[in-house]
Amino acid sequence: MNKIIYTEEAPKPLAAYSQAIKAGNTLYISGQVAIDPSNGQVVGKDIKEQTDRVIKNILAIVKAAGGDLKNIVKINVYLSKPDLYKEFNEIYSKYFNEWRPARTTVAAKPPREDLLIEMDAIAIIP
């Protein structure tokens, strides 16, 4: 049975998609950007601040589905420029230090110029 996951602790979807879908034990989290769910505004002008907000959004969705950080098994990262990688990884590593999900990181044009990063994730939640 598939279930839509939604939390006020992550940004409201801006188009025709769900924050996440839980299919069986697998949680598919839609791409998250650096939007503060409390006001709908982009957080931060640098990659460190934006990375922190994106990860907080992902974790809020995972928690809403009954999981935590260690349930995340795969993350895809889309950076607006390859030269942001080092600073991005500094913040990412603070969250994913001992537990390190599989990850893909690529440079891709963001949907808006003020967004430097987007991330999606997959989690397994029994």
Domain residue spans of the chain: 2-124
Q: Confidence class of residue 114 from pLDDT cuts 50, 70 and 90?
A: very high
Residue 10, C-beta contacts closer than 8 angstroms, at least 6 positions apart: 19, 32, 37, 57, 58, 60, 61, 64
- What pTM was computed for the model? 0.97
Average pLDDT (66-93) is: 98
Q: Confidence class of residue 109 from pLDDT cuts 50, 70 and 90?
A: confident
Average pLDDT (51-61) is: 98
Query: What does the alpha-carbon distance between residue 96 and residue 94 come to, in Å, rounded to a whole number?
Result: 6
2-124 folds as 60s Ribosomal Protein L30; Chain: A; (3.30.1330)
